Amino acid sequence: MPSIFSHAIFASAVGSAYTAEPMEMPVRYWALTAACAMLPDVDAIGFAFGVRYDSMLGHRGLTHSIAFALLVGLAVGMFAFGRRTTGLGKLQLVLYFALVTLSHPMLDAMTNGGLGVALLAPFSAERYFFPLRPIEVSPIGMQFFSERGLEVLVSEVIWVWLPALLIYMTARMYRAVKSEK
Ligand SMILES: [Zn+2]
C-alpha cells in the first residue's frame, strides 16, 4: 500500500473535484472521504490472525475489490447524509463514495511490491497490478522512520501527492473559469 495518509490525500483531491463548492461541504463529507479511502486496509488485521496474504480475506483481497467499493459507496451514499446537506443527489453520493473507496486499490495496483489487488473478488481471487508500477511499496507495519520509510515517502510525494495537487488545482481553475462566464 501507499501509506494510509497518501490514500486520504488523494481521495480528498478527488473530493474537491467532485463538487462545485468544496468549501461548502460538511465536515462529514471530508471525514468520510478520508475514511473510505483508508478503509480497505482494515484487512491488514488478518496478518495478526494468521490469514494468508493470498487468500480472499488476506491483505489486498476482498476489501480491495470493486464489489466492496460499491457496497461501501451504497451504504455511505444512502445513509450518511440528510437531505440537501451536500447539494449532491443520493446517486451522486453513492457513486462518489464508491469512487474514493476504489481509488485505494487503484493506487495499491501501482505499487512495486507485495501481491496485487483482488479487484474482482469475491468472484475471482486473481490479483491485479497495473502495467506501470512507479509507487514504492510501503512496508507493512510501521517501520516508517527508517531510510526505507523515507524512500517510500519521497515516492508517494511524487506519484500520489503531486497528482492529487494537480487534480485539486485543475478543478479549482475549472471552477474559476466557469464562474467568470
Ligand atoms: Zn491497501
Ligand 1 mean position, distance from CA 83 (Å): 32
Residue 144: pLDDT over 60: no
CA–centroid distance, residue 84 to ligand 1 (Å): 32
List CB contacts of 86: < 8 A, sequence separation 6 or more.
Answer: 19, 25, 26, 29, 93
Residues 70-98 have a mean pLDDT of: 93
The rounded Å distance from CA 3 to ligand 1 centre is: 9
Q: Rounded to the nearest whole angstrom, what is the distance from the C-alpha of residue 17 to the centroid of ligand 1? A: 23
**21 C-alpha to center of ligand 1: Å?**
29
SS (H, E, C) the chain: CCCHHHHHHHHHHHHHHHCCCHHHCCHHHHHHHHHHHHHHHHHHHHHHHCCCCCCCCCCCCHHHCHHHHHHHHHHHHHHCCCCCCCCCCHHHHHHHHHHHHHHHHHHHCCECCCCCECCCCCCCCCCECCCCCCECCCCCCCCCCCHHHHHHHHHHHHHHHHHHHHHHHHHHHHHHHHHHC
Lowest mean pLDDT among 46-55, 105-114, 145-154: 145-154
**How far is C-alpha 147 from the geometric centre of its chain's CA atoms?**
25
- Whole-prediction pTM value? 0.92
pLDDT, one tens digit per residue, over 27-70 is: 999 999 999 999 999 999 998 899 999 999 999 999 999 999 99
The pLDDT of 60-84, averaged and rounded, is: 95
> Ligand 1 centre from 1 Cα, in Å?
5
Residues 18-24 have a mean pLDDT of 91
Cα(139) to ligand 1 centroid in Å equals 11
- Give the distance (Å) from ligand 1 centre to CA of residue 51: 15
**What is the whole-number distance in angstroms between the Cα of residue 100 and the centre of ligand 1?**
13
Average pLDDT along the chain: 92
